Structure 1
């Protein structure tokens, strides 16, 4: 294909895998404030807050994939969420208009729905509970306004993935899998709460699917790999993959939250960031199920089942010998 695609913010976990799978089908470049470990030759260093740099980077491009975002739970100051996620999106759209680029795929998040919602689909009311979710929703609104005010040939795809896991990722799912695999895992609550997850090998193929099959107009998709697992089932998947019995310890929710608050206080006192916090305990115990019927009935076929994605990740991280120690930190 002759499409000139720019990935914005693709030096990280998802972007690196996306470049790997898409570089044979498109002419690709990456614009990121961080250098790419694996694709430095395709990467231009720049920031979405720098309008002039974006204007130059988008020259000659026909498609944009906007991955760049402030996404950690503990970003400080909180204004960074809005400077990068919202104003950065405005800047990208302005650069697109200057260069006549009419196609964009934007990665948002199921965080726009808030916590403990009942299997929301794409039409569910929006109720973000943190600055990340709020800023992602505001960015979506900016994108929809751009689409509505522009010519008919504009194409906007918004993808709202759930938590993404996979090889080399160092985020909440990895921390959880590591604790379970190491036998140092305490279940907070009964373990019956379901967790929607997405394997990186599938989400990148869905993004690529949308690039290969662009549609005029506006499309929004949740992305989740089905069927969802509850926490007890997730422990069973780890046991099966690693062929080991995992000790089971259950803590009451109130005790778990108390521990989280204690780590919050300790973090403020020491200035250090810890793997445990009240926000993370709350997210761990929340039911996070989302409807992904629209994505999976769009003609896309996920190359891996959720169990296969978990097995591939567990084998890579805890069984196979490592060729290098390159990892990507996320939530």
Structure 2
């Protein structure tokens, strides 16, 4: 099976390429990305998902397209880049697929399409994105919906993962784990808000499951590793894995938001991208719990529990000596 990935030089794409490369007789993979790949550069072609010519050429002969390319950070400027890449890139990809006779696509969307503090939304929950990333992902899904109406024979699978973490990732979960493990962690709020997460080893295994088993129709799946931990439970688990007592000082929400606004002002004055912002404080204190019944009742069996994924990440990042400094930045 010839698989063309768009945007697979990043964190999830690299792990997905690593998994599929274990089955060379089954999958023939290629990667098209703006950046070279740390581990799979021999199958990587430099290309921009916004370029029709480059995508027309890059998707030749593909049986399945996996679209990972996206603008995803909280602080992208100008904001039009979210829509140029996340929505415009979808339109370009579909046209290139049609030109090349490819009728299967797996698209990485996001639970950001639901918005914040929603009551455990399943896939049929109304979209209510609160930021440009979520809005652009939802618009890209709408492009797919309209496309499928006129191309009902296509197989379109949409994955809406929650925040993804794992070895080598440098995003919000890593920053949180690093702060907790340092013993200097400041808990904003009571710590009872639940945080849904997905271990990268499980999300790429789910994509492989889709490639092999979900080959017809238009399908949308939330992906979350269950059960969800709240912040207090997460701190306790980190303490157990690392074998040390980790105090957690609680600060009221209003004080945390004031601090976030101060960092917003500092970032605007200095022009620097800071790890703390009002948006990130708001996201930290929000309950991010999503229903993943559909994915976990599809026949897919996650190879790791959530706690195993957290333990593997903590041991790789904070326990065992590193042999290289390769990391991937995300949210």
Q: TM-score, normalised by structure 2?
A: 0.98
Report SS of the residue matched to 1:268: helix
Report SS of the residue matched to 1:160: strand
Report SS of the residue matched to 1:106: strand
Runs of 4+ displaced beyond 4 Å: none
Matched residue, 2:169: 169
**Is 2:6 the counterpart of 1:5?**
no
How many residues matched? Answer: 328
- Return the alpha-carbon distance in structure 2 between the equivalents of residues 248 and 292 of structure 1: 30
- Return the alpha-carbon distance in structure 2 between the equivalents of residues 176 and 61 of structure 1: 39
Superposition RMSD in Å: 0.6
Alignment of 1:1-331 (within 5 A): 3-23=1-21, 24=23, 25-152=26-153, 154-331=154-331
Q: CA deviation at 1:151?
A: 4.5
- Return the alpha-carbon distance in structure 1 between the equivalents of residues 99 and 146 of structure 2: 17
Q: CA deviation at 1:215?
A: 2.2
**What are the Cα deviations for residues 21-71 of structure 1, in whole angstroms up to 9, with x where unaligned?**
012231000000010000000100000011100000111111000000000
Q: CA deviation at 1:214?
A: 3.2
Q: CA deviation at 1:145?
A: 1.1
**What are the Cα deviations for residues 74-126 of structure 1, in whole angstroms up to 9, with x where unaligned?**
00000000000000000000000000000000000000000000000000011
Unaligned runs of 5+ in 1: none
Unaligned runs of 5+ in 2: none
Q: TM-score, normalised by structure 1?
A: 0.98
- Return the alpha-carbon distance in structure 2 between the equivalents of residues 144 and 62 of structure 1: 20
- Return the alpha-carbon distance in structure 1 between the equivalents of residues 92 and 280 of structure 2: 32
- Return the alpha-carbon distance in structure 2 between the equivalents of residues 226 and 121 of structure 1: 14
